[in-house]
Amino acid sequence: MKAVIMAGGKGTRLRPLTNRLPKPMVPLLNKPCMEYIIELLKNHGITEIAVTVQYLPHVIREHFGDGEKWGVQLHYFDELQPLGTAGSVKNAEGFLDDTFLVISGDALTDVDLHKAIRFHREREAIGTLVLTRVEVPLEYGVVMTREDGRIIRFLEKPSWSEVFSDTVNTGIYVLEPEILSFFKRDQVFDFSRDLFPLVMEKEFPLFGVVTEGYWSDIGNLEQYRQAQWDLLEGRVEAILRGKEWAPGIRVEDGVYVEDPTSLSAPVFLGAGTRVDAGGRVGPYTVLGRYNRVRANASLERTVLWNRNEIAESAELAGTTLAHDIRFGPGARAENCTVVGENSWIGERVLLSAGVKVWPDKTIGPGTVLTESLIWEGQVSRGWFGQEGVSGVTNRDLTPERAGSLAAAFGRVLGEGTTVVVGRDGSPFADILHLSVTASLMAAGVRVVDAGVAPAPSIRHGCFSYEAKGGLYICCSDEERDRTVLQFFDGRGVPIPLAMERKVEQTLYQGDYARPSMVFGTLERDERVLERYRGALLEEVDGDRIRSRAFKVVLHTNNWHLFPLIQPLLERLGCRVVTVLGTNPPLERFILDNQADLGVHLDSSGQSVIWYSEAGRVLGREEQTLVETLLSLKRKGAVPIPVTAPREAGQMVQEAGMEPVHVPATVRALLEASDRERFPLYGDGCAATAFLLEHLAQTESALEPFLAGLPPVHLRSESIFCPAEAKGRVMRRLMEEWKGGSLELLDGIKMWEGESWVLIRPHGEQERVDVVVQEGSSTKAKRLLEDHKEKVLEYRER
């Protein structure tokens, strides 16, 4: 049998370790990762091996040659440009004349390949995926199978709301050659994103088999360190270099340790490494070849590659160093720090936790480095959340980081594009505005500065300026010590997950290629509010609204919103009572002023809470039903979020329309609405104008209108659930509910008659939301309690 080792990966998330080294060549206990894969194949009798290479291929060729040293025959297939996982294997199609195995050269595993091959042949499959279970499946392809192993659902790199299992694709496949005929040569094609969904669509037999054993894809720096420790602990069946000097202490030839008691197991020392008297090598430390640890230096949970010198009294804890680094006297590196090759760390330098230093850097004596040092900027990962990018003001989210994010955003959009920028007027938003504007212009982007304005007017500006994107800076309504950056596409919709990943990837690589002479421009638009207000007034029946002469009590925590919303309401003939302050008693103001409507806008103007003339705040279900009715009066599709009561969908069907079920996010609601200028969702000002129009057209007050809505018995609760348990909870629920009527748009929603249960992992917080609807309040309470118990049970298991 033949195999294909995919060895073209850049290992972007492992930078700076992979700046000059392909990911399959990163060392694990002083041996390239791909070497373990070759030995695994050899142990299973597979010796004819194709190797697909693309990034720094000469490094792999020079090390492995033709494979004779390992008892195998290697055949190399080059990609001049990335073709995707399936596209790279297609390059070797002429070599693959029978059933073959595909495996990644940058994973560490000891899975039983014979078991997978037998399973594949017994099922007469066109393809079999080797599966495993992981605690946090977000960076993998999640797979669901029938009892016989046939794959029925596949989702690549889901968000938490899309996770339906903790069973994931390992990237190890047993395939028939005919599967490569599904696409053309030199076509960019991916196994999990393109080929497997196509095979399933054509109903060819595609199976998955869960195997025992160890597997890690070493996708990030944390997993890279953990793989070393797993090898040290013997959790992986693998051939290790060197010999055991003492229990848990493994060394190669030429190691010299002046005081053997300075070593604390488990440790690994590569050939030619020396530890001076007084130097301490603590547990879970891996030293490659020809390293020198001087007197009184201390290392723990640390990985050193080759030819590094750790000077006197230096301290490294949870650190990874590449090749040829001098770590100065008294210097310290805290947990999760990484230093690229050929760098010099001066005397008494402090590398703060999480700092990454790119290759060829010099850090002068006494420096306290709190930000990663790439080219000239800073870096972080995983910035985007449900609101956009948020962080504690001037601590997590600083002007420097905001500028880097804006530069990455500009890089993704492209030189010469237009971005509309606005802010809510909070003091720190004013500061960040300067940083992001400068960074966008330096990236060659034309910036339209809308100044202090609500987010809806910035979204409208994206549309009216035919911009490629928008950026809004505001203070978080929920946590006032947090600042938020919101990124929009050209329609004013929050950028999709794929673009978020591109921005993060660009940020992580420090890849903001800036023009040398031609820069972006800055244009200030002082009429953005006026244009937004004028366009909105054209959208509603102003004469009908003015005929009712509504009295409206208006409140928001951001006084900068009043110049937009108050003139808008006044031009619609409303008498406006403005209320200032935090959490004032709006009910009393509404009753005292005999108002027709109470309106509370969040500080960015994007969400709204309505109060009836009785001073009663609308419940979440009531507001959803009102929004659904207002959507029916507008042109376009009617989106229904998964958290909406079933009555919302019934309203749409009774109106002769088909509801569009979507995840409960503003992005999904906007994308499904098909209305570019003034969508109902994400714009509290427009939604309020549409509500006034409806009340005027029906000649109704809000309370009688609400009384005509069907009763809803919906309950919800959030349950603490750590990230490592979320996938397990979802898989167990899927197993229990198989065969039922399920909806997998946003979490798992199970329908049973007129009742339903939604289990929805939160995207950022360690919690799972349980939402239920039943025919009565008592039944809804009981149904909620039953499923809370299930989540708690599966969480603990």
Q: What are phi and psi of 539, to 5 degrees?
A: -85, -20
Task: Dump pLDDT digits (tens) for 777-789.
Answer: 999 999 999 999 9
Asked if the model's pLDDT at residue 473 lies above 50, the reply is yes
**Which pLDDT score is estimated for 378?**
31
**Which pLDDT score is estimated for 517?**
66
Asked if the model's pLDDT at residue 504 lies above 60, the reply is yes
**Mean pLDDT of the 312-335 span:** 94
Q: Is 691 helix (H, G, I), strand (E, B) or coil?
A: helix
Asked if the model's pLDDT at residue 621 lies above 80, the reply is yes
**Which pLDDT score is estimated for 193?**
87
Q: Average model confidence (pLDDT) for the chain?
A: 89
Cβ contact 111:172 at 8 Å: yes
Task: Dump pLDDT digits (tens) for 397-433.
Answer: 889 989 999 999 999 999 999 999 999 989 999 999 9
Measured distance CA(237)–CA(430) in Å, rounded: 57
**Which pLDDT score is estimated for 759?**
94
Q: Please, what are the domains in the chain?
A: 2-216 (3.90.550.10), 241-369 (2.160.10.10), 389-526 (3.40.120.10), 531-707 (3.40.120.10), 714-796 (3.30.310.50)
To 10 degrees, the CA torsion angle through 451, 452, 454, 456?
0
Asked if the model's pLDDT at residue 757 lies above 50, the reply is yes
Task: Dump pLDDT digits (tens) for 670-704.
Answer: 888 765 567 778 899 999 999 999 999 999 899 99
Of the two residues 117 and 141, the one the predictor is more confident about is 117
**Which pLDDT score is estimated for 377?**
30
Task: Dump pLDDT digits (tens) for 702-724.
Answer: 999 899 888 899 999 999 988 88
Do the bridges between strand 482-489 and strand 469-475 make them parallel or antiparallel, or are there none, so unpaired? Answer: antiparallel
Do the bridges between strand 344-345 and strand 362-363 make them parallel or antiparallel, or are there none, so unpaired? Answer: parallel
User: Which of 281, 306, 305 has its CA nearest to residue 293?
Assistant: 281
Share of the chain above pLDDT 90, in %: 61
Task: Dump pLDDT digits (tens) for 553-581.
Answer: 999 988 888 888 999 999 999 999 999 87
**Which pLDDT score is estimated for 677?**
63
Neighbours of 715 (CB within 10 A): 17
**Which pLDDT score is estimated for 376?**
35
**Angle, helix 33-43 to helix 57-64, in steps of 10 degrees:** 50
- pLDDT category at 379 given cuts 50, 70, 90 is very low
The string of DSSP letters for 121-133 reads HHHT-SEEEEEEE
DSSP secondary-structure letter at 139?
T
Do the bridges between strand 48-53 and strand 73-78 make them parallel or antiparallel, or are there none, so unpaired? Answer: parallel
Global pTM reads 0.65
**Which pLDDT score is estimated for 737?**
87
Of the two residues 272 and 81, the one the predictor is more confident about is 272
**Which pLDDT score is estimated for 671?**
84
Asked if the model's pLDDT at residue 593 lies above 90, the reply is yes
**Which pLDDT score is estimated for 145?**
84
**Which pLDDT score is estimated for 516?**
60
Cβ contact 298:285 at 8 Å: no
Task: Dump pLDDT digits (tens) for 125-143.
Answer: 999 999 988 887 777 778 8
**Mean pLDDT of the 151-156 span:** 83
Asked if the model's pLDDT at residue 457 lies above 60, the reply is yes
**Which pLDDT score is estimated for 429?**
93
Cβ contact 55:10 at 8 Å: yes
**Mean pLDDT of the 67-86 span:** 91
Measured distance CA(312)–CA(336) in Å, rounded: 21
Q: Using only C-alpha atoms, what is the Rg of the chain?
A: 30
**Which pLDDT score is estimated for 591?**
95
- pLDDT category at 666 given cuts 50, 70, 90 is confident
Asked if the model's pLDDT at residue 513 lies above 60, the reply is no
Asked if the model's pLDDT at residue 509 lies above 70, the reply is no
Best mean pLDDT range from 77-91, 301-315, 372-386, 734-748: 301-315
Measured distance CA(366)–CA(355) in Å, rounded: 16
Cβ contact 357:372 at 8 Å: yes
Q: 743 vs 641, 734, 797, CA distance in Å?
A: 12, 11, 25
Measured distance CA(563)–CA(551) in Å, rounded: 18
DSSP secondary-structure letter at 143?
E
